[in-house]
Structure 1
C-alpha cells in the first residue's frame, strides 16, 4: 500500500482560519467588512459624518496593509523554510510501514 501524504495546503488553510478568526474575535476593523457598517451609520445617523467615515477607512486600510504584509510574509517564509528542509526519503517511508 502506497503512503499517501496530506496536501501541503492544509497548513495554509489553518493559518488563514486562525488569522481571520482573530480579526473577527478581536473586533479589528476591516476596510471591506466594516465599510458597509460605517457607511450605513453615516446615512442613518446625523452623528456620523463623512470625516468619521474617512478616518475609519484610512485607519482600517493602513491596518490591513501592515497586517496583511506581515501575514503574507510569514506564510511565504514558512513555505520556503518547509520546502528547504529535507523530506522523508523513499527508504524511510518504506521502513516505517514494514
Structure 2
C-alpha cells in the first residue's frame, strides 16, 4: 500500500475554526511536521469516535457527544425504572446552529 499525500487550503474567513486551530498548532511547536501530525491525530480520534457511535456526520457526532450520549455498548436499559430523563446541554441553542438537531431524536 502506498502513502497518500493530501493537501488542502484553509480560508481564514470561511473556515475560521480550522484556520485558528492550524495557527494555534503552529504556535505550539516549530517542529517540522507537527501541524500535520496533530491534524492526523485529530482525524484519527474523530474516526474512532465515529465508528464507536456509528455516526458518520461530524456535526451530529459532536452534538451527540455534547449532549452526553452513551456509547452503543453502554446505553441504559429502557426497561429500567431508574432511567433518568436526558436534558439538553446548556449550550443546546448554540449547537442547533451547527447542523441537524439531534436533541429531537433523544427520548423524552
Query: Is the radius of gyration larger for structure 1 or structure 2?
Result: 1
> With structure 2 as the length reference, what TM-score do the two structures score?
0.29
TM-score (norm 1): 0.31
Give the helix-richer structure, 1 or 2. 1
* Structure with more contact order per residue of length (Cα contacts < 8 Å, sep ≥ 6): 1
